Amino acid sequence: MPEIRVDETRCKGCELCTKACPKSCIEMSDTFSVTGYYPAKLAKTDCCIGCGLCAQICPDLAIAVWK
Amino acid sequence: MELVNKKPSSLVDIKMHYCPGCGHGIVHRLIAEVMDELGIRERTVGVAPVGCAVFSDDYFNCDMIQGPHGRGPAIATGIKRSQPGCIVFSYQGDGDLASIGMAETVHSAARSENISIIFINNAIYGMTGGQMAPTTLIGQPATTCPKGRDPKVNGYPIKVCELLSQLDGARFLERTSVSTAQGVIKTKKAIKKAFQNQIEGKGFSLVEILSMCPTNWGVTPLQGLKFVDEKMMPLYPLGVFRSPEQEGGQK
Ligand SMILES: Cc1ncc(C[n+]2csc(CCOP(=O)(O)OP(=O)(O)O)c2C)c(N)n1
Ligand code: SF4
Ligand code: SF4
Ligand code: SF4
């Protein structure tokens, strides 16, 4: 199953990826990252189709898409 | 499992200083991916603007020069004419390109300099704290028009692609947006075209990119996407305004 891995040291919690995901797999974490943001996370298992659209819109190159 | 989206080698692997949800970071990545794909990183020279992207010379992994406000096209002209083997791009905001640098923009297009300009239209002065830009929408508040832009006092927004499309020297003009993932993919295609035109000696290319500045619009990053789609796009329609294929043609 494809998945995304969010680099919490890069993520600025902008939430743009949550809107870009056609499957609504991404949610925001409720704990702070080391940089002081609520980072994005893959919230559901068996959800990601590896389309990469979240990574397309991420301004901070924080999302790695694995297939 | 395999990593699908490797970071482009034309971008230095460090964190960028832009605000959350800012469009600059997206466009930086796209330019770097295009440099990688065209294999031109080692002969590319970029001109960084004055504006929020002033530090982009730290981010692009090619030769960079940082110019005075608005003078990007003049600097790019000088580099390209003296080093024609180089691929030269100028990266500019709307305050930079359409206000203080308007003369350089118009005349480099009129001369059809063989350069590529990446123009970030975020309808505001970002770096200096949200003053009205030439591209600020009617009714849009800014620190220098807190009640919203009033055409009686502040005039009307400048549509750069439409304006330049009157010039025969402007060979490629396209307006795109980075407010959706699909728009990001289209923007990359347009940037690639602008670089390819230069490689093929086709003359002046400019891509105008509608981009988010949530900080100075006073909105959340998600509301920023909406602002581009609902407020900016009706005034700044997306599309190709001129292309070398339709010689002299205008949309
Ligand atoms: C000659 C000169 N005039 C004015 C300024 C002040 N100044 C710095 S950035 C800027 C405008 C930035 O807006 P924009 O070009 O739209 O880029 P953004 O920050 O929005 O990316 C201005 C007026 C300057 N640095 N130099
Ligand atoms: S790769 Fe596609 S499906 Fe997976 S999280 Fe990103 S946008 Fe959603
Ligand atoms: S788009 Fe990128 S920076 Fe923004 S929340 Fe998602 S992973 Fe984080
Ligand atoms: S002020 Fe606006 S343009 Fe500048 S980094 Fe912040 S969001 Fe981006």
Q: Is the pLDDT of residue B104 over 70?
A: yes
Q: What does pLDDT average to over chain A?
A: 97
Q: Which two tokens stand for residue B178?
A: 């980075």
Q: What is the mean pLDDT of residues B126-151?
A: 98
Provide the CATH number for the domain formed by B24-242 in this structure: 3.40.50.970
For a mutational test of ligand 4's pocket, the pick from B16, B26, B50, B52, i.e. the residue with the most ligand atoms closer than 8 A to its C-beta, is: B52
> Residue A23: which domain range?
3-66
Comparing CA positions, the residue from B235, B213, B222 lying closest to residue B93 is B213
Q: Each residue of B221-235: pLDDT tens digit?
A: 999 999 999 999 999
Q: What angle do CA B141, B147, B152 make, to 5 degrees?
A: 100
Number of domains in chain A: 1
CA gap A22, B47 in Å, rounded? 36
Per-residue pLDDT of chain A (67 residues), as tens digits, is 999 999 999 999 999 999 999 999 999 999 999 999 999 999 999 999 999 999 999 999 999 999 9
Comparing alpha-carbon positions, the chain B residue that sits nearest to A15 is B222
Q: Residue B247: its pLDDT value, please? A: 61
Query: What does B81-106 look like in DSSP terms, one character per residue?
Result: HH-TTSEEEEEEEHHIIIIITHHHHH
Question: Structural domain boundaries of chain B?
Answer: 24-242
Q: Each residue of B32-50: pLDDT tens digit?
A: 999 999 999 999 999 999 9
Q: Residue B139: its pLDDT value, please? A: 98
Contact of B44 with B87, CB cutoff 8 Å = yes
- Kindly state if the Cβ of B18 falls inside 6 Å of ligand 4: yes
Q: Provide the pLDDT confidence category of residue B246 given band limits of 50, 70 and 90.
A: confident
Name the DSSP letter for residue B198.
H
3-state SS class at B181 = helix
How close does chain B come to A40, measured CA to CA in Å?
12
Contact of A67 with A2, CB cutoff 8 Å = yes
Supply the CATH number for residue A36's domain.
Answer: 3.30.70.20
Q: Residue B249: its pLDDT value, please? A: 46
| Residues of chain B neighbouring A12 (CB-CB closer than 8 A) | 19-21
Q: What is the mean pLDDT of residues B201-215?
A: 98
Contact of A40 with A49, CB cutoff 8 Å = no
Q: What does pLDDT average to over chain B?
A: 97
Q: Each residue of A33-46: pLDDT tens digit?
A: 999 999 999 999 99
